[in-house]
Amino acid sequence: MKYFLLSLLILTILLTYQVSSCDAINSIREFLFPPKDLFQPLIEVPIDVSSTKEVNVGEIKFKYKGLYALGISYGKDIDDKKLHWKKYSLKLRLNIKFYANNKLIFEKGSTKDYTPYWGTDDNGIDIIYFNYPKDISEHKLMCTVEVVIPDRELNEQHKPLKLHISKQSEL
């Protein structure tokens, strides 16, 4: 009985407090006791993807380790069967850049592939994935997103669009 109680105490401590060296335990802890803000977007800014441009997203502060996605979201009332049920040939190409002290530390471009999602507040597509702190080791960064190849059809059919960076599930 005392070993059971001791094991239960150790398990509770491991799952309740973040253990920086063990990603598996942190993933289990976040699954069982998710922080309220775990999947809230780090940024959410309006974007027009009908022409090439660079959007200064501003300062990003990473709070949780793991997988993140840059994506585009739009309202739930939009008929999104084309993006979600038929394979849409995504023309849009984005490039994300992170800077620390005005020095470029990470850059990644999108491809034609995307992952659609359905949310309680909106729907959208995730386009670029990256990992904190494996890809990006700084906690606080400046971010820009460049529309390299515009997608006028996506912009017109689904506007207003919002650019977001959000934590993704690791399960």
**Of residues 118 and 22, which shows the higher confidence score?**
118
pLDDT in tens, 1-29: 777 766 666 666 655 555 545 666 666 77
Q: Which CATH class is domain 37-167?
A: mainly beta
Helix axis angle, 23-32 relative to 2-16, nearest 10°? 90
Half-sphere exposure of 83 (CA within 13 A, CB side): 26
pLDDT in tens, 123-135: 889 999 999 988 8
Domain boundaries, the chain: 1-33, 37-167
| pLDDT for residue 17 | 55
CA torsion angle for 41, 67, 47, 102 (degrees, to 10)? 100
Kindly report the pTM of this predicted structure. Answer: 0.79
**Of residues 81 and 155, which shows the higher confidence score?**
155
Task: Using pLDDT thresholds of 50, 70 and 90, give the confidence band for residue 110.
Answer: very high
Grouping H, G, I as helix, E, B as strand and the rest as coil, residue 111 is coil
Burial class (CB in 10 A: 0-12, 13-18, 19+), 95: middle
pLDDT in tens, 62-101: 988 889 999 999 876 666 666 665 667 789 999 999 999 9
Mean pLDDT score of the chain, rounded to an integer?
84
